[in-house]
């Protein structure tokens, strides 16, 4: 080993630049954040050649004096903090004093700035962090930083850049992320002499999201738990994508990458979102600064929570409840975001989860972990409602959906009344609906189309339901509820059905006999490769016993033998799919209306257990336009 020496300043800056400036978009992010920290109301970005040839950021912020401008190009020079204690109360984007000198060390940089109280501005020019040239200049108030020939003195780094189009798209994403964090700032992006983004100042986060997701039908979520506040605008399950690239996560007005939060949001959709799929949209999380550590990553794209488990639990609690409610009602063509509770006025001092006593106010992180009394009341209400109905009625109601022709009109009336009673209790306790909402039971069944679709009339338009998807959602929810309460009613078969399985599957049946019995299947081993099915869930009595068993065992095997709970939702969704009313089955008006009433009693009623939409809507206004009446 050689003798230890202190690195030259220029070399140290270039090494630091490797951590901070990964690509042109990284430089754009740092410069835009500096503009926002300076109090800018407008930020104009110019990107030529993917940001390599030229990258310019102009703001109308407070500007800098000549002395501050000189110091801004020195390493570890910052106006954002003075002591280590300031790190736990940061309200600015930058704080390390490394970004600008790191950028300057790998490009030709020009800085033009003027303070409002100054009559003249100053221009600084540097190349590779050296050859500083300072000249006075007449300039408007604010700052313009122009980066040219990025990585001109680090050719190895330049080789790793992607195509011009790819680098340009990354710069565009950076601008969009900054616009989402600060709706009150106007952003423009000119790319290769063409204006590609003009995001005018917005009054609310919802308006800013609407600017960027013009064609998306988003579901709005607004809620809080303890010190955590959540505001999200997410696409419906049918528009989910593999991977989380389309999901913006913004913590304390800072765009971050966090796999835990992305997974939590995806899990909040329950079974309607496939594995590995994530919604598109924006999630805003606001927490006290002392509960979030932003000093984790050189690019400040990652954060660390004081209590990550409590944070995830709070996000899941709010998101799952709001999504379950929002996706349980038929979509209204009149509502841009599907916002119901988001537009409701809030009483000061009362969160959407109820009032907290001031004398026993918990600490912030303890409040995140504290069970929510309102959540427990809703769960209790739903449980009591389900258990208050006779098990036979619940089973018969699903059996009606599975085999409509075998049920009597009197039973249909009883089920409809029970469903209405259950719906009223659940909706009253959640207190989520408003006068603008449409309920499934309020739709009037008109006709069955091609023995597949149910044509219904609603107050705002025409609703076309996929009868199989609707019946599958009801059957799945009731299967899941009965499994959880261990009240699964079984229907004994007149003759046992023999099923051949592989030796491994037979062994799995023997090991997991209790879990299999809990879902209403009575399976007995008869040989090394043979079992017999003696009973199936009463809810699925029209399904093939062999198909139900194969679905269940197949999911258990795919879960790696870790138990049925690992594959519970998927297994029950397959069983519900194969045991529900199908395309080609005839349904009467009374039975169709009972199915509509049953949809009011389940969460995520707008989508089947596999995420497909249950209904398509056409407003009367749209219909009138199509036939020329408007």
| Lowest pLDDT segment from 106-110, 298-302, 397-401, 557-561 | 397-401
Tens digits of per-residue pLDDT, 200-250? 999 999 999 999 987 778 899 999 999 999 999 999 988 888 889 899 999
Q: Tell me what pLDDT residue 630 has.
A: 78
- pLDDT of 131 > 80? The answer is no
Structural domains of the chain sorted by starting position, each given as residue range(s) with its CATH number in brackets: 9-199 (3.30.565.10), 205-346 (3.30.230.10), 371-630 (3.30.1540.20)
Stronger pLDDT, 374 or 530, i.e. the higher one: 530
Highest mean pLDDT among 92-101, 225-234, 321-330, 337-346: 225-234
- pLDDT of 417 > 90? The answer is no
Q: What is the mean pLDDT of residues 468-491?
A: 88
As a whole number of angstroms, the distance between CA 50 and CA 166 comes to 7
Placement of tokens 């550590």 in the chain: 293
Phi and psi at residue 60, in whole multiples of 5°? -110, 35
Highest mean pLDDT among 72-86, 385-399, 525-539: 525-539
Residues forming beta bridges with residue 148, ordered by sequence position? 54, 108
Q: What is the mean pLDDT of residues 421-431?
A: 35
Q: What percent of the chain is modeled with pLDDT above 90?
A: 45
Q: What is the mean pLDDT of residues 566-581?
A: 77
Name which of 197, 255, 160, 150 is nearest 46 in CA terms. Answer: 197
3-state secondary structure of 354: strand
As a whole number of angstroms, the distance between CA 592 and CA 588 comes to 6
- pLDDT of 12 > 90? The answer is no
Tens digits of per-residue pLDDT, 430-460? 333 333 568 899 999 999 999 999 999 998 8
| Lowest pLDDT segment from 353-367, 400-414, 557-571 | 400-414
Residues 206, 337 contacting (CB under 8 angstroms)? yes
Q: Tell me what pLDDT residue 361 has.
A: 44
Q: What is the mean pLDDT of residues 37-63?
A: 95
Q: Which residues, in sequence order, are CB contacts of 322 under 8 Å at separation 6+?
A: 221, 222, 223, 341, 432
- pLDDT of 134 > 60? The answer is yes
As a whole number of angstroms, the distance between CA 617 and CA 612 comes to 14
Q: Tell me what pLDDT residue 610 has.
A: 83
DSSP letter for 80, please: S
Q: What is the mean pLDDT of residues 254-273?
A: 90
Tokens for 345, please give them: 């006025």
Q: Tell me what pLDDT residue 185 has.
A: 96
Tens digits of per-residue pLDDT, 289-314? 889 888 776 667 888 899 999 999 99
Tokens for 33, please give them: 């954040």
Q: How confident is the model at residue 384 (pLDDT cuts 50, 70, 90)?
A: very low
Rounded mean pLDDT of the chain?
Answer: 80
Tokens for 279, please give them: 């919604």
Stronger pLDDT, 540 or 359, i.e. the higher one: 540
Q: Tell me what pLDDT residue 217 has.
A: 81
The pTM for the full model equals: 0.75
- pLDDT of 533 > 90? The answer is yes
Sheet holding 247-251, edge to edge: 218-225, 228-235, 281-286, 247-251, 254-256
- CA torsion 538-540-542-543 (nearest 10°) is -130
Q: Tell me what pLDDT residue 360 has.
A: 42
Distance of CA 284 to the CA centre of its chain: 10
Q: How confident is the model at residue 420 (pLDDT cuts 50, 70, 90)?
A: very low
Sheet holding 444-449, edge to edge: 444-449, 453-457, 461-466, 615-619
Q: Tell me what pLDDT residue 609 has.
A: 83
Q: How confident is the model at residue 357 (pLDDT cuts 50, 70, 90)?
A: very low
Q: What is the mean pLDDT of residues 406-414?
A: 32
Name which of 461, 458, 477, 495 is nearest 401 in CA terms. Answer: 477
As a whole number of angstroms, the distance between CA 89 and CA 294 comes to 10
Q: How confident is the model at residue 355 (pLDDT cuts 50, 70, 90)?
A: very low
Stronger pLDDT, 148 or 366, i.e. the higher one: 148
Distance of CA 202 to the CA centre of its chain: 22
Q: Tell me what pLDDT residue 372 has.
A: 52
DSSP letter for 187, please: E
| Lowest pLDDT segment from 49-58, 248-257, 505-514, 554-563 | 554-563
CA angle at residue 96 from 92 to 98, to 5 degrees? Answer: 125
3-state secondary structure 563-597: CHHHHHHHHHHHHHHHHCCCCCCCCCHHHHHHHHH
| Lowest pLDDT segment from 359-373, 583-597, 616-630 | 359-373
Highest mean pLDDT among 14-18, 26-30, 601-605: 26-30
Q: What is the mean pLDDT of residues 460-466?
A: 93
Stronger pLDDT, 240 or 274, i.e. the higher one: 240
- pLDDT of 22 > 90? The answer is no
Q: What percent of the chain is modeled with pLDDT above 70?
A: 76
Which of 257-261's residues contact partners 24+ apart within 8 Å by CB, and which partners? 257/301, 257/302, 258/302, 258/303, 260/308, 260/312, 261/285, 261/311, 261/312, 261/315
Q: Tell me what pLDDT residue 428 has.
A: 36
Residues 42, 59 contacting (CB under 8 angstroms)? yes
């Amino acid at each position: 080993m050689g003798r230890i020496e202190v690195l030259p300043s220029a070399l140290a800056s270039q090494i630091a630049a490797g951590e901070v400036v990964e690509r042109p978009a990284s430089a754009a992010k740092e410069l835009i954040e500096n503009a926002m920290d300076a109090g800018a109301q407008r930020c104009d970005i110019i990107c030529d050649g993917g940001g390599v040839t030229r990258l310019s950021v102009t703001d109308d912020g407070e500007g800098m004096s000549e002395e501050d401008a000189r110091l801004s190009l020195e390493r570890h020079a910052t106006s954002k903090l003075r002591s280590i204690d300031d790190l736990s109360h940061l309200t600015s984007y930058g704080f390390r004093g490394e970004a600008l000198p790191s950028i300057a060390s790998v490009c030709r940089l020009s800085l033009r700035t003027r303070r409002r109280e100054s009559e003249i501005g100053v221009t600084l020019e540097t190349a590779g962090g050296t050859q500083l040239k300072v000249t006075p200049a007449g300039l408007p108030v604010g700052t313009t930083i122009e980066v040219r020939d990025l990585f001109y003195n680090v050719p190895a780094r330049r080789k790793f850049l992607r195509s011009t189009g790819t680098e340009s798209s990354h710069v565009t994403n950076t601008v969009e992320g900054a616009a989402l964090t600060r709706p009150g700032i106007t952003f423009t992006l000119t790319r290769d002499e063409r204006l590609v983004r003009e995001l005018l100042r917005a009054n609310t986060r919802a308006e800013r999201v609407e600017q960027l997701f013009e064609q998306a039908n988003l579901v709005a979520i607004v809620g809080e738990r303890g010190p955590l506040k959540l505001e999200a605008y997410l696409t419906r399950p049918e528009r989910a994508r593999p991977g989380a690239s389309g999901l913006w996560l913004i913590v304390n007005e800072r765009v971050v990458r966090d796999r835990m939060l992305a997974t939590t949001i995806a899990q909040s959709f329950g079974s309607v979102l496939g594995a590995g799929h994530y919604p598109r949209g924006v999630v805003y999380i606001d927490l006290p600064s002392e509960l979030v550590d932003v000093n984790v990553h050189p690019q400040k794209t990652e954060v660390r929570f004081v209590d990550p488990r409590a944070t995830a639990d709070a996000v899941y609690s709010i998101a799952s409840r709001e999504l379950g409610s929002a996706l349980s009602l038929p979509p209204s063509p009149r509502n841009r975001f599907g916002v119901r509770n988001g537009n409701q006025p809030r009483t000061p001092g009362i969160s959407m989860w109820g009032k907290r006593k001031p004398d026993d106010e918990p600490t912030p992180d303890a409040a995140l972990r504290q069970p929510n009394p309102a959540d427990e009341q809703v769960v209790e209400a739903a449980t009591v409602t389900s258990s208050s109905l006779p098990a036979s009625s619940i089973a018969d109601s699903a059996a009606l959906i599975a085999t409509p022709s075998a049920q009597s009109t009197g039973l249909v009336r009883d089920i409809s009344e029970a469903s209405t009673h259950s719906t009223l209790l659940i909706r009253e306790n959640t207190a989520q609906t408003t006068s603008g909402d449409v309920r499934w039971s309020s739709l009037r069944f008109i006709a069955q189309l091609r023995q597949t679709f149910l044509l219904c009339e609603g107050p705002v338009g025409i609703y076309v339901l996929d009868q199989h998807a609707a019946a599958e959602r009801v059957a799945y929810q009731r299967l899941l509820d009965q499994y959880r309460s261990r009240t699964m009613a079984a229907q004994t078969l007149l003759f046992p059905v023999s099923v051949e399985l592989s030796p491994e599957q037979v062994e799995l049946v023997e090991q997991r006999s209790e879990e299999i019995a809990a879902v209403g299947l009575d399976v007995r081993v008869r040989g090394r490769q043979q079992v017999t099915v003696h009973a199936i869930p009463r809810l699925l009595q029209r399904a093939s016993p062999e198909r139900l068993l194969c679905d269940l065992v197949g999911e258990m095997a795919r879960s790696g033998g870790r138990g049925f709970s690992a594959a519970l939702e998927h297994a029950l969704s397959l069983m519900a799919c194969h045991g529900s009313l199908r395309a080609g089955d005839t349904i009467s008006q009374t039975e169709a209306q009972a199915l509509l009433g049953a949809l009011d009693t389940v969460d995520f009623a707008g989508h089947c257990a596999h995420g497909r939409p249950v209904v398509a809507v056409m407003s009367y206004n749209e219909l009138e336009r199509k036939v020329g009446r408007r």
